[in-house]
């Protein structure tokens, strides 16, 4: 698997697929039995190369006797920063992750979401070229998730490479240039979200409203939500359906293609994997 | 060495904020009580009793800190996963380990120095003066500190490959065995075979000989401590400590953090 410079790469997979294990290997928290990995063309064992890496662990936990400002200052000391630069970066970063007002509170009093923000801040404090985030949205409220998404997009704009793991597929679809899907410890596919799900349309969907007493035959197949009806059909039946609705005086609100989502692709892979595992179990192999 | 210093100062800050130095209150109370009582019950040997009691308290309190906090230096960070973000930085694992060691030794140095001041205050309360020979107390305190540093290194080593509970047991066990290492070397047992005797002797040389650092008896009686003994004990602590830390480093450097 290869992640190109400047791209946002999503690492997807169900729980236990091996996402965190892979990330831990890259940041040398665990060691491989075999194989090799390189970041910025250098071996992951090259400690100096880690100047250029930022890492957010899954469900981060930090020294609870430190304040956020002290923690960031502590981590910043491991990078080549002058005291003035260090101080400035810590201030800016606290502002960026929305912890400026809580910077003097000890981390033992922080919520899970606040710890996640501190974790993100320490990962990008030193302007790394490569940012590796393990489940960065985990534990965040919708506002926090939005902020993290914005930070990832900002990193991309700055030309940094971002690798992040997630099982929130909508985040991956929204942010990633490419994704890799890991199931059962094996990489099952790498590509853009569009490539992964395919471009073939699965059908069409019409959203419409119809006046009281009008009963176009299509209504039997439609699903009602409030005053609106939603109906799905093969692409070749679209124009016939529109004619039928026009004849009944219906108000067509939208016509859209039905495309498979990353979630569909993901679920298919996971189910195929489970089916294979069951088959092996049944045959006793 | 910058990374080692950074980890060490943070470890010291952790100890201070975790109220490790609160033991000084206990020591102060002990010394105050001793100074008041000793004058009433031990006529003529007040100084010796105060010095013995003070040095023993410094040693025992330090021992508890060295073993219990020493074992937690690495295991607590692994349990709480606080070292994950740190080890992904440009930090070698041996730098982290050495920094933790130095941080606790710094804590012990401050603690021991404060207790030494307390001991001198108690001595002054009893004698109303301090003599030149009382300076040997500082030498005894220095040797206690060397012993404590060695115990921290052993606690770190054990915590790198076993559970905190077992690490405490192993460290305490090695300490007790190390106190009797000298006796093991000179032991003459008629009912043991020469092979067993040689094995015991070999083991006694592998164990840290903590008696090398014990000059409490001499100092309590105002006797001088030979410079050669201090130099020898220092060299012994440095070499033994370096070997133990190198072993800890070798183990920790390949440890998977799951």
Per-residue confidence (pLDDT) for residue A112, from 0 to 100: 83
Q: What is the pLDDT of residues A198-235, one digit of tens each?
A: 656 678 999 999 888 888 888 888 999 888 999 999 98
Chain B residue with the nearest C-alpha to that of A48: B90
Q: What is the pLDDT of residue B127?
A: 79
Residue B123 contacts residue B219 (beta carbons within 8 Å)? no
What was the pLDDT predicted at B173? 94
Q: What's residue B80's pLDDT? A: 87
Tell which wins on pLDDT, A142 or A267.
Answer: A142
Order of strands across the sheet that contains A203-209? A223-225, A228-233, A203-209, A251-258
Angle formed at CA A15 by CA A11 and CA A19, multiple of 5 degrees:
35
Paired tokens of B188: 């003459």
Nearest-angstrom CA–CA distance, B31 and B183: 32
Cα atoms in the Cβ-side hemisphere of radius 13 Å centred on B244: 23
Whether B91 sits inside 8 A of A77 (CB atoms) is no
Q: Do A61 and B258 touch (CB under 8 A)?
A: no
- How near does any CA of chain B get to the CA of A57, in Å? 6
Of B10, B80, B257, the CB nearest to A29: B257
Find where tokens 């003994």 sit. B229
Burial of B78 by CB count in 10 Å (0-12 exposed, 13-18 middle, 19+ buried)?
middle
The answer to whether A61 touches A110, Cβ cutoff 8 Å, is no
Predicted pLDDT at A254: 93
Answer whether residue A285 shows pLDDT above 90.
Answer: no
Query: What pLDDT was estimated at residue B106?
Result: 95
Dihedral of CA B218/B219/B222/B226: which sign? positive
For chain A, percent of residues with pLDDT exceeding 90: 42
- What is the Cα–Cα distance from B246 to B252, expressed in whole angstroms? 10
What proportion of chain A, given as a percentage, has pLDDT over 70?
A: 95
Note whether ipTM > 0.90 here: no
d(CA B244, CA B158): 10
Tell me how close the Cα of A39 comes to any Cα of chain B, in angstroms: 13
HSE-CB for A154 with a 13 A CA cutoff: 10
Residue A10 and residue A22 in contact, taking contact as beta carbons nearer than 8 Å: no
Q: Report the alpha-carbon distance of residue B84 to residue B77 in Å, rounded.
A: 9
Which pLDDT value is given to residue A251? 93
For residues B108 and B149, is the Cβ–Cβ distance under 8 A? yes
Tokens 């031990």: give the residue.
Answer: B42
B127 token code pair: 């004698």
Name the nearest CA neighbour of B233 among B207, B211, B205. Answer: B211
* Selected residue of A73, A74, A120 to mutate for chain B interface (largest B Cβ count, 10 A): A74
pLDDT of residue B222: 81
DSSP string, B154-212: HHHHHHTTS-HHHHHHHHHHHHHHHHTHHHHHH---TTS-HHHHHHHHHHHHHS--GGG
Model confidence over B118-157: pLDDT tens digits? 889 888 888 788 887 788 999 999 999 999 999 999 999 9
Q: Which H or E run includes A30?
A: none
pTM of the entire predicted model: 0.83
Chain A, residues 32-51, CB within 8 A of chain B, namely 47-51
CA distances to B66, B130, B162, B173 from B177, in Å: 17, 36, 20, 6
Q: What is the pLDDT of residue A252?
A: 93
Low-confidence ranges of chain B (pLDDT < 70): 39, 42-44, 189-190
Residue A163's nearest CA partner among A54, A72, A68 is: A54
Classified as helix, coil or strand, A206 is strand
Element (H, E) at B68: none
Sheet holding A186-191, edge to edge: A53-56, A130-134, A161-166, A8-12, A178-183, A186-191
Question: For A93-112, what is each residue's pLDDT tens digit?
Answer: 999 888 888 888 899 998 88
Of B85, B92, B256, the CB nearest to A30: B256
Q: Give the Cα separation of B61 and B114 in Å (integer).
A: 12
């Amino acid at each position: 698997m290869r992640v190109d410079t400047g791209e946002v790469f999503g690492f997807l997979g169900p729980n236990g697929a091996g996402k965190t294990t892979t990330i831990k290997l890259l940041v040398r928290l665990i060691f491989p039995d075999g194989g090799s990995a390189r970041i910025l063309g250098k071996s992951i064992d090259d400690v100096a190369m880690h100047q250029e890496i930022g890492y957010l662990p899954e469900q981060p936990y930090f020294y609870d006797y430190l304040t956020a400002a002290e923690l960031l200052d502590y981590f910043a000391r491991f990078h080549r920063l002058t005291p003035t630069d260090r101080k400035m970066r810590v201030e800016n970063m606290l502002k960026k992750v929305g912890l400026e007002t809580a910077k003097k509170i000890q981390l033992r009093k922080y919520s899970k979401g606040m710890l996640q923000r501190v974790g993100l801040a320490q990962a990008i404090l030193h302007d790394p070229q490569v940012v590796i985030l393990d489940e960065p949205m985990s534990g965040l409220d919708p506002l926090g998730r939005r902020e993290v998404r914005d930070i990832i997009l900002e990193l991309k704009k700055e030309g940094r490479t971002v690798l992040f793991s997630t099982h929130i597929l909508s985040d991956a679809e929204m942010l990633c240039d490419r994704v890799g899907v890991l199931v059962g410890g094996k990489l099952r596919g790498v590509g853009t979200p569009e490539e992964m799900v395919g471009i073939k349309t699965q059908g069409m969907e019409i959203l419409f409203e119809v006046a009281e007493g009008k009963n176009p035959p299509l209504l039997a197949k439609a699903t009602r939500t409030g005053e609106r009806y939603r109906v799905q059909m093969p692409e070749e039946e679209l124009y016939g359906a529109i004619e039928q609705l026009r004849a009944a005086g219906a108000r067509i609100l939208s016509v859209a293609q039905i495309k498979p989502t990353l979630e569909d692709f993901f679920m298919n892979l996971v189910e195929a994997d489970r089916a294979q595992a069951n088959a092996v179990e049944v045959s006793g192999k | 060495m910058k990374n080692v210093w950074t980890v060490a100062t943070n470890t010291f800050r952790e100890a201070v904020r975790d109220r490790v130095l609160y033991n000084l209150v206990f020591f102060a109370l002990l010394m105050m009580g001793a100074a008041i009582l000793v004058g009433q019950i031990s006529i003529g040997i007040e100084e010796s009793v105060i010095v013995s009691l003070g040095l023993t308290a410094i040693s025992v309190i330090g021992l508890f800190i060295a073993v219990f906090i020493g074992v937690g230096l690495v295991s607590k960070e692994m349990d709480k996963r606080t070292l994950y973000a740190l080890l992904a930085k440009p930090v070698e694992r041996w730098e982290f380990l050495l920094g933790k060691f130095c941080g606790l030794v710094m804590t012990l140095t401050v603690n021991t120095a404060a207790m030494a001041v307390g001991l001198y205050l108690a001595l002054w309360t009893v004698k109303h003066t301090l003599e030149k020979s009382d300076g040997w107390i500082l030498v005894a305190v220095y040797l206690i500190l060397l012993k404590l540093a060695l115990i921290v290194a052993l606690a770190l080593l054990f915590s790198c490959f076993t559970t905190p509970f077992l690490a405490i047991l192993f460290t305490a066990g090695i300490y007790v065995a190390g106190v009797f290492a000298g006796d093991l070397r000179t032991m003459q047992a008629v009912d043991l075979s020469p092979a067993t005797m040689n094995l015991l002797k070999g083991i006694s040389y592998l164990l840290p000989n903590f008696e090398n650092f014990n000059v409490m008896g001499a100092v309590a009686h105002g006797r001088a401590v030979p410079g050669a003994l201090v130099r020898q004990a220092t060299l012994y602590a440095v070499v033994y400590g370096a070997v133990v830390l190198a072993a800890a480093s070798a183990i920790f450097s390949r440890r998977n953090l799951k």
